[in-house]
Amino acid sequence: MNRSEFTLEQWLSWMEKSHSVAIDLGLERVQTVFSRLSLDFTNVHVITVAGTNGKGSTVAILDAIYRRSGYRTVCYTSPHLQVYNERVRINGGLVDDASLVAAFNAVDQAREGISLTYFEMGTLAALWLVADQQPEVALLEVGLGGRLDAINVVDADVAVVTTIDIDHVDWLGDDREKIGWEKAGIFRKGKPAICGELDPPVSIENYSQELGSHLRQVNTSFEYRLQNNTRWLWQGRDINDDPVTLADLPLPRLPLQNAATALQTILLSNLVCSPANIAQGLRDAQVSGRMEAVEYQGHHFILDVAHNPQSAAYLAQQLKKTDPNGVQLILGMLADKDCSAVIKALSPVVTCWHLATLDVPRGQTAEQLSSHLFESGINKQNLVCHDTVADAVNTLVATDAATTGTIVVAGSFFTVGGAYPVLHRELL
């Protein structure tokens, strides 16, 4: 069958098999195809967002504020929870199948035989859609690292690094300095760069200085603090280096650290956003699978894609506030994640562990995951293994809600994605 006649489902199936390896970092192949596409971003304000955690939240906050301010946006994020269309949002709505098919066809024609990974093909298609839509703002989330990620073929007007922690060590290195250097690779000479990491590695600043980008770092160039239980304050400088204070801001649903980073990003662009629109955007912003509360058949669920030590620690911190007596946890994880560190971070707030097999590439069985819990000293009596995430959810739903208390689903995008159909949850 000629690929020009493919449906979206056929394209995605073909993309999964079209390259010899799933991850193939490097820009040479992608850059060649990107150049052939001749995409015009002249009138598009491009913001690229990298980071170990917080990328999706930062993009969501930026998108909400810019749209509240009347600007047209296109967002590219990954991975998706249920359908591929989630990866590209045009003015807040999921891209339709026909537009994705047109984008894949355009990239396929420009390839001229060059092999691309699933992610590279998807990224170039997303960039084609940005050029086709010509929004005022394009928000582009890095998939892995930064320097060698496919999204880095585009020169960002503002580059953002949200947080830095140990993850993807096989590709990015095994310490924060190496990882920070890789993520700083999205910075551009003479352009604003922002780092929201509270404990930034020296490599971030070193990279920026050597390159000649204009770096703004949290607690150095900008800061934020709570005013009370419902309000917070941001202080920093704008694109003209004039001091700015935004007080009495509403607390967002998403991490305050990411909100503060997003505000600095907005103030370093030429696109004006009023304090009123910033406040409303903060109220609007939400992301599926990030501290997402779901009520289902009398049970209270929290869905969170936390899958590395830093995000697990944040999740545990939030659960200590909301559920001081502990929660039941449905956990499914990929084999290349630091399972022991994630378990250690979550163990203070978990009363019973429900381990679920992830039947996906790199997925672990419940039994494999249980070995990490035993090594951490978790009592076998507090551990149950399930064949799938759906089985775990259904088992707990069939239990008296007064007995279960809060049920948390975490460990991977695949884990949360597996719970969505059972809970009949629609994407935010």
3-state DSSP assignment of residue 216: strand
Q: Quick: pLDDT tens for 52-74.
A: 999 999 999 999 999 999 999 99
Cα-flanking dihedrals φ and ψ of residue 158, to 5°? -140, 130
Question: Is it true that 3-284 and 292-418 share their CATH fold?
Answer: no
> Over 90: is that where the pLDDT of 18 sits?
no
Distance of alpha carbon 347 from alpha carbon 328, whole angstroms: 11
Q: According to the model, what pLDDT value does residue 177 have?
A: 92
> Over 60: is that where the pLDDT of 168 sits?
no
> Over 80: is that where the pLDDT of 19 sits?
no
CATH 3.40.50.1820 fits 292-418, yes or no: no
Structural tokens at position 413: 């995008």
Considering only the C-alpha atoms of the chain, give the largest distance between any 2 of them, rounded to a whole number of Å: 62
Domain boundaries, the chain: 3-284, 292-418
pLDDT bin (cut points 50, 70, 90) of residue 2 is confident
Per-residue pLDDT averaged across 339-356, rounded? 96
- The domain at 3-284 falls in which architecture? 3-Layer(aba) Sandwich (3.40)
Q: According to the model, what pLDDT value does residue 22 have?
A: 62
Structural Rg of the chain based on CA atoms: 21
Per-residue pLDDT averaged across 322-329, rounded? 94
Per-residue pLDDT averaged across 396-422, rounded? 92
> Over 70: is that where the pLDDT of 428 sits?
no
Burial of residue 368, with CB atoms counted within 10 A of its CB: 0-12 exposed, 13-18 middle, 19 or more buried: middle
> Over 80: is that where the pLDDT of 24 sits?
no
Burial of residue 158, with CB atoms counted within 10 A of its CB: 0-12 exposed, 13-18 middle, 19 or more buried: buried
Tell me which DSSP letter residue 325 carries: T
pTM of the model: 0.93
Q: According to the model, what pLDDT value does residue 291 have?
A: 92
> Over 60: is that where the pLDDT of 236 sits?
yes
| Cβ pair 377, 371 in contact under 8 A | no
Q: Quick: pLDDT tens for 108-130.
A: 999 998 999 999 999 999 999 99
> How many CA atoms lie less than 13 Å away from 407 in the CB half-sphere?
28
> Over 70: is that where the pLDDT of 20 sits?
no
pLDDT bin (cut points 50, 70, 90) of residue 327 is very high
To the nearest whole percent, how much of the chain has pLDDT over 70? 95
> Over 70: is that where the pLDDT of 415 sits?
yes
Q: According to the model, what pLDDT value does residue 166 have?
A: 67
